Amino acid sequence: MIPHADEAITRDDKSLILAYDHGLEHGPVDFEPNPATADPDRVFELATHDAVTAVAVQKGIAEGYYPSYEDDVTLLAKLNGTSNLWMGEPNSSVNWTVENAAEVGADAIGFTVYGGSNHEIEMVEEFREAQEAAREHDLGVVMWSYPRGQGLKNATTPDTIAYSTRLGLELGADITKVKYPGSPEAMNHAVTMAGNSKVVMSGGSKTDDQDFLATVRNAMDAGANGLAVGRNVFQRDNPEQILDGLEAVIFEEASVKDALDV
């Protein structure tokens, strides 16, 4: 990692990345709880909330919608991604070049690496190419580090998540995004293994306000830099309200109780 390479997608050195690549990764089913969010405009409007430091989208969404929001929203270009229709060993096609992402206005790139997959070698080599191109264009680098595939059954054990954050450091990510490993102690270990690179927690499937904010509070207290979240925001009836709460927890060090009252 390069110190401050992620400056454009952080606020006070912390981050809340709104992930919106679910139409590719999971399909339209993810929009059913809040059908308005099938419309990318609705999510770009959410991304104008003060709490959001960047929105992570695929190329087509960026090309079609980002020009209307470029003054108010910071773009994180998610370069690779796979549909849920793919039934093979975990892999991810590279859908977007760094050069084109920079032209569209990205401030950072996002890249998934499935450590442990039969495709790990090629994914890491693709990441290397993207990471070096990102450096040439002064873009921050965020790795979605999700070990899975072959015999890897429980991809959220403390050891696996610590290995995930370490992969991010070793391979040159500025920020590594991992699933919550289940406890503050395990998260702290994962943060320690990331050295001077940063760690953000992945939002996961929708949970209730209290549980979600408590997990984010625990992750922050354990040294995480923030959150990259999709469903736990846009599947809610009132996404702005949870963004208010997340802003309090991540940037204002609020307790869960205070954040619920915001």
Active-site residues: which are they? 177
Question: Please, which residue, 150 or 257, has the CB nearer to ligand FBP?
Answer: 150
CA 139 to CA 69: how far, in whole Å?
19
Question: Please, which residue, 60 or 257, has the CB nearer to ligand FBP?
Answer: 60
CA 40 to CA 62: how far, in whole Å?
9
**Smallest gap from residue 227 Cβ to ligand FBP (A):** 8
Question: Please, which residue, 4 or 60, has the CB nearer to ligand FBP?
Answer: 60
**Smallest gap from residue 52 Cβ to ligand FBP (A):** 13
**Smallest gap from residue 144 Cβ to ligand FBP (A):** 5
**Site for ligand FBP, rule CB under 6 A:** 19, 21-22, 25, 144, 202-204, 228-232
